[in-house]
C-alpha cells in the first residue's frame, strides 16, 4: 500500500499532530480538557499522512494578511461514531 502524504495546497492550512507534553501544556494553559476542544474527524483529508488516531490533538496554523498567524486546536474524533456523518447510524 502506498504511503499517504499530507496535502500541500495554498488554501489548506498546516496541520500538525501535537506531542503529549505539548497537549498537556495547552490544556493547562487554557484550563480545559480534551473533550472541550473542537473536533476534527479522523477521515479529514488534511490529516492524511500524519499517523493520527482518535484522541490525538491537531494544531492548525492559518496565515492571514490581516491577522498574521493564528493557531487553532482540534481533537481527532471517530467519523463513524459522530451523528450526521456517513457510516454512522441515524
Condensed to tens digits (0 to 9), the pLDDT of residues 31-41 reads 999 999 999 99
How many domains are there within the chain? 1
Q: Is residue 40 part of a domain?
A: yes
Domain extent for 37: 14-80
Report helix, strand or coil for 43. coil
pLDDT digits (tens, 9 = 90+) for 6-19: 667 777 899 999 99
Phi, psi of 75 (to 5 degrees): -100, 140
User: 74 has which bridge partners?
Assistant: 58
Rounded to whole angstroms, the Cα distance separating 6 from 22 reads: 21
CATH number at residue 21: 3.90.940.20
What three-state secondary structure class fits 74?
strand
Would residue 19 count as lying in a domain?
yes
Classify residue 32: in a domain, yes or no. Answer: yes
Is the entire prediction scored with pTM above 0.85?
no
* Domain contains 29: yes
Residue 56 exposed, middle or buried by CB count within 10 Å (0-12, 13-18, 19+): buried
Amino acid at each position: 500500500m502506498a504511503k499517504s502524504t499530507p496535502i500541500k495546497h495554498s488554501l489548506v492550512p498546516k496541520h500538525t499532530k501535537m506531542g503529549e507534553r505539548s497537549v498537556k501544556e495547552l490544556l493547562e494553559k487554557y484550563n480545559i480538557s480534551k473533550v472541550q476542544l473542537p473536533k476534527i474527524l479522523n477521515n479529514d483529508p488534511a490529516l492524511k499522512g500524519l499517523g493520527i488516531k482518535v484522541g490525538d490533538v491537531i494544531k492548525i496554523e492559518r496565515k492571514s494578511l490581516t491577522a498574521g498567524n493564528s493557531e487553532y486546536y482540534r481533537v481527532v474524533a471517530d467519523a463513524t461514531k459522530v451523528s450526521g456523518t456517513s457510516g454512522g447510524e441515524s
